[in-house]
Structure 1
Amino acid sequence: MSSTYVHYTSSSLPSDYALLSRYSAAQHGATTSASQSEQAETSSVAPSSHVDEDEDEDAGVPIQANGGSRPLTQRQRRSSFPNSRLPPFNPTMSPLPDRHGHRSGPHLKKPSENTPLLAPPVPRIEEECDTVPSDGTPSSSMFREEMAILTKYTLPVFGTHLFEYSLVVASVISIGHLSTTALAASTLGSMTASVSGFSIIQGFASTLDTMLPSAWTSSQPQLVGLWSQRMAVVMAAALVPIMFVWWSSESILLFLKQEPEVARFASIYLKYASFGLPAYAFNAISRRYFQSQGLFNVPTRIILGVAPVNALLNYLLVWGPESLRLGFIGAPIATAISFNLISILSIVYGLFFVPKTAWHPLSMRCFTSLGVLVQLGLSGVGQVASEWWSWELVGLAASQLGPTALATQSVLLVSASTTYQAPFALSVASSVRIGNLLGEENSKRAAVAAKCAIVMSLVISAVWSTMFMIFRYSWAHLFNDDPPVVTLVASILPLVALFQVFDGLSAVTAGILRAAGKQFTGALLNLSAYYVIGIPFGIWLAFWRDMDLHGLWIGLTVSLVYCAAVGVWICMNNDWEREVEKVRLRLEADRKAADDSEA
């Protein structure tokens, strides 16, 4: 996820290719020379009033069927549902405030003599199987239906991430042919961007995987828009320290003992790239806004249109006619323009080409309930960033093993990053589907969808593992023809093939955990898997047992075996009825708070 491994976005690809290109250049040179609450007041509750995610799931939310919850009348596309780290609330319909003196929730008008007895159904993208009650449907039939649905949702997400790769790869390729210093600077710049910026943005954005899908399937789908607006406010605040780090990066990198010239160029790279950072954050939100409604093809279409423009901009601004050529700074400028272009097209698409069902009018409500997003977002950062940063450490360790090991590490991680996009796309699809099913109060089908996603990840992993084993002796030639690199890649690829199985499982279980609002659990899993088990064990094998790069990959595989095993156990034993009840209680509290505010 970092400069070496891409688990959540393609932003780290530059370093992967840069390391490899740098090695090749050096070799050549040597040869030649849920919920959706109005919880405005909830966000003002002191952190001490909240409990940890697992505690909240088990004790913080009173699970008592009080009969006040009415079944939801619509179903929607999946994502994840409101996090368990929300504060406890009283689910009764009493107009009195809760025990904290706070109110929260969407606004519903008080009933009058003109109020219809039955609430109208909310428009939704409907799957045929969702119209049939699950109680009488055999589990095998539901499994087949969910497999078809998850496949349909996964393909466009996979396409989106692959096309997103091109935005960064084009920049790396264009810079890579300028000079070794330029290439090293872009590598250092992209590593810094991943660690200090992109990973944090993606971590906060993962909160929407919990909030949006169940909001979309609730009786108030406009809360999808409201939670997106609230996240935009949180992102705007988060961008301030990130921008400060990027614009002060030269002094920071010099303090970290980086080569002065490389640090100066990396700082320049980050300053120009920062003009695309707000758009990057907006895109992380807009993508989830569309996906939660089942509009998976929208981000794919947008990025498909921008990708060739980005390639053209990289050529014109880095290598093009002298009147347009900017050289080194042309690449980050091209990427920033592309990110902004994606944002503009997303806004246009949302305004003119999709229904406004999920949109909430702009109001001061977007400044409410921010504390909930911050708390859940910090857990998301722990889940995402911990994994990105761990791969930076692995890349740093590999760099101590010599140029051949470093080049081999680049080949292996670029390969693993690419194949990872399929199970990651499945995890996004699973998160949305399960979140929507929880919003529909369909716990039985949610449980089946979770099991189906786990099985599908094994099938996908089997395909990639087989591919690596069949082409193990020729795979490295796709990147480099140096005999030592080709030999070392071939010797480690069996480990990478095994790695695929547990990497895919951990990706999908992470998506299921996001659907259940358990980012905190995911963060603990990643932190313990990488920093307590995998990385220390891998470094011990590599440097103390003289296993070199093999040792690092054994450590990585062990960490993912642990992460996947625990994740699968949690997902298979999850109480989905309880998850549905939590969503129902949140909706009921929202309606109560709305009635109170209207009074």
Structure 2
Amino acid sequence: MNPTIVTHPNIHFADIPMPGPAASENTPLLNPPVPRIDESAWERTTDTDRPLRIFLDELRILTRYALPVFGTHLLEFSLIMASVISIGHLSTTALAAISLGTMTANVTAFSIIQGFTSALDTMLPAAWTSPQPELVGLWSQRMAIVMSVLLIPMYALWFNAEAILVRLKQDPEVAHLAAVYLRFLSIGLPAYAFNCISRRYFQSQGLFAVPTQIIFIVAPTNVLLNYLLVWGPQPIRLGYIGAPIATAISFNLVSLMSIAYGIFYVPRTSWHPLSRRMFTSLGVLVELGLAGVGQTASEWWAWELVALAASLLGPVALATQSVLLVSASTTFQAPFALSVASSVRIGNLLGEANAKRAKVASNTSLIMALGISAISSAMFLIFRNSWAYLFNDDPEVVKLVASILPIVALFQVFDGNAAITAGILRARGKQVTGALLNLSAYYIIGIPFGMWLAFSRDMKLHGLWIGLTVSLVYCSLFGTLLCLRTDWDREVWKVAQRLNEHGKVGRIHTVDEEDGALLEA
């Protein structure tokens, strides 16, 4: 075992054990290693062509990283979107109800689950590259325990949703149908939580394509189930309740396939036998999970608050908001996938003390975001008069959607850019900065301004979307400024300092020490 020496001005640290006789700063700790992109071509470039060559290399690498993430999130999102589309053609009231039901599910459960399981983004990658890779399985088991407890109040809210929604001044018929939707969707709630854990379990080991492959099989099955249970032959047609049942079945299918894949196709390197240890250190995950909820759910809740405001404008406005929200959320999956890829890529480069390359990767991702956003904007502008027919046949909804889509097209540019800057900030360890940016953008600027336009200036749904666009302009401009002004040499220095401060991998010996070191990391 040879020590790895990482050099940088004013930095020198060693004694991190690496396998093999020819270890370097790029040598993985484990076998099999996390997949890496071959950069040998870049290393052979000359000074004259290096800038363009580096840009093209980063373009290729970021695209290769982002594609499986995009596929996973887009197909996962389609599980809900299929229900919205199938129910939307039943009636405008049904579309408004599923919109309200989905909003309630997001606020009271899905956003919280996503926020809590984001704690695994900190724990699992560190565990996988440590001398104790089986901690990946142990931390996943611990998160499953935390999720099991959190599901109890979620179920209590969902099964009392009708009374709560009526007290919030929702239309009684819409509130009743939304509560029915939640009751049947709850069949898949534990599976949804498990899927958020299993996806991170696979990705922490470099198995990015596994969740994509699984959801690629389930997504078309979900479409078929929605058709059969909502619109199919009489013996199996269930109508409105068929959509949430189809979604719940699909969530459970993803869980079963993930378990089967983990048992039969993934090496046991990362698995920890079931034991009483899974009930220990739960406070660590709760603490990290609450921070994750504050960062992730705040943006979700802002969107749902706008949907709640839209519901006060009547069923047509709520149905229109559902169409616009689903559309914007679908196109958002591309820049979001790129933001995840950028965060991983830049983080790797900072760990390798490659400040110059990290800067190029950051700038490349910003340029790519503009290209993606331009495609989305053009699509909404070109098809604005017919877009709503994908979801609903009500002439009022179609007309209102067409009148707001130009605002949504402008929104795309800043929404995509804000997503990328958030990913860059995460790579730099600036999650708090990103959270403060979102909080101030939505809750201090965008939503109050949108509410004022919608209700005081009688601009209604147009006003709400103008407010959202203003909030994203603020996020995008300040986020881009923070990224462009980054001192990447200092960022490399900060990463090295954190490694020195929190101890070296070789110092982890006991159970208590390993958990503490991973928590600090």
The TM-score with structure 1 as length reference comes to: 0.72
Checking the alignment, whether the CA contact within 8 Å between 2:42 and 2:57 is kept in structure 1 is no
The alignment status of 1:549 with 2:461, answered yes or no, reads yes
The aligned residue for residue 15 of structure 1 is none
Q: 1:161 to 1:121 in 2, by over 3 A?
A: closer
Query: Could you list the per-position Cα deviations for residues 528-558 of structure 1 after superposition, in whole angstroms to 9, with x for gaps in the alignment?
Result: 1101000111222233334443332221111
* Mapped partners of 2:154, 2:52: distance in 1: 49
The aligned residue for residue 208 of structure 1 is 120
Query: Could you list the per-position Cα deviations for residues 371-428 of structure 1 after superposition, in whole angstroms to 9, with x for gaps in the alignment?
Result: 3432332222122222222122222333444566555444433322221111011122
Considering fraction of residues, name the structure with more helix.
2
The aligned residue for residue 95 of structure 1 is none
Q: Pick from 14, 17, 33 the counterpart of residue 123 of structure 1.
A: 33
The aligned residue for residue 584 of structure 1 is 499
The alignment status of 1:594 with 2:474, answered yes or no, reads no
* Mapped partners of 2:358, 2:429: distance in 1: 14
AA in 1 matched with 2:456: W
**How far apart are residue 339 of structure 1 and its match?**
0.6
* Mapped partners of 1:436, 1:229: distance in 2: 27
The alignment status of 1:230 with 2:142, answered yes or no, reads yes
Query: Could you list the per-position Cα deviations for residues 192-229 of structure 1 after superposition, in whole angstroms to 9, with x for gaps in the alignment?
Result: 11110011111122233344445545565544434333
The aligned residue for residue 474 of structure 2 is 562
Q: Pick from 334, 337, 341 the counterpart of residue 253 of structure 2.
A: 341
The alignment status of 1:461 with 2:349, answered yes or no, reads no
Q: Which sections of structure 2, spanning at least 5 residues, go unmatched? A: 1-9, 515-521
The alignment status of 1:275 with 2:194, answered yes or no, reads no
Aligned pairs for 1:171-570 within 5 A: 171-176=83-88, 183-213=95-125, 215-217=127-129, 221-260=133-172, 262-320=174-232, 324-401=236-313, 405-438=317-350, 442=354, 444-476=356-388, 478-479=390-391, 488-570=400-482
Q: 1:497 to 1:249 in 2, by over 3 A?
A: closer
Q: Which sections of structure 1, spanning at least 5 residues, go unmatched? A: 1-63, 78-117
**How far apart are residue 343 of structure 1 and its match?**
0.8
Q: 1:501 to 1:186 in 2, by over 3 A?
A: closer
Checking the alignment, whether the CA contact within 8 Å between 1:432 and 1:515 is kept in structure 2 is yes
Q: 1:235 to 1:154 in 2, by over 3 A?
A: same
Query: Could you list the per-position Cα deviations for residues 298-343 of structure 1 after superposition, in whole angstroms to 9, with x for gaps in the alignment?
Result: 1121112112322333344445455545444333222212111101
**How far apart are residue 484 of structure 1 and its match?**
6.1
* Mapped partners of 1:344, 1:401: distance in 2: 42
The alignment status of 1:158 with 2:104, answered yes or no, reads no
* Mapped partners of 1:219, 1:453: distance in 2: 33
AA in 1 matched with 2:337: A
Q: What is the aligned-residue identity percentage?
A: 65
SS of the residue corresponding to residue 262 of structure 2 reads helix
Q: 1:236 to 1:482 in 2, by over 3 A?
A: closer
SS of the residue corresponding to residue 377 of structure 1 reads helix
AA in 1 matched with 2:482: I
AA in 2 matched with 1:500: Q
AA in 2 matched with 1:127: I
Which protein, 1 or 2, shows the higher relative CO under an 8 Å CA cutoff with sep ≥ 6? 1
AA in 2 matched with 1:584: L
**How far apart are residue 254 of structure 1 and its match?**
3.8
Q: 1:413 to 1:312 in 2, by over 3 A?
A: closer
**How far apart are residue 234 of structure 1 and its match?**
2.7
SS of the residue corresponding to residue 128 of structure 1 reads coil
How many matched pairs?
496
**How far apart are residue 267 of structure 1 and its match?**
3.0
**How far apart are residue 135 of structure 1 and its match?**
12
**How far apart are residue 121 of structure 1 and its match?**
6.2
The aligned residue for residue 518 of structure 2 is none
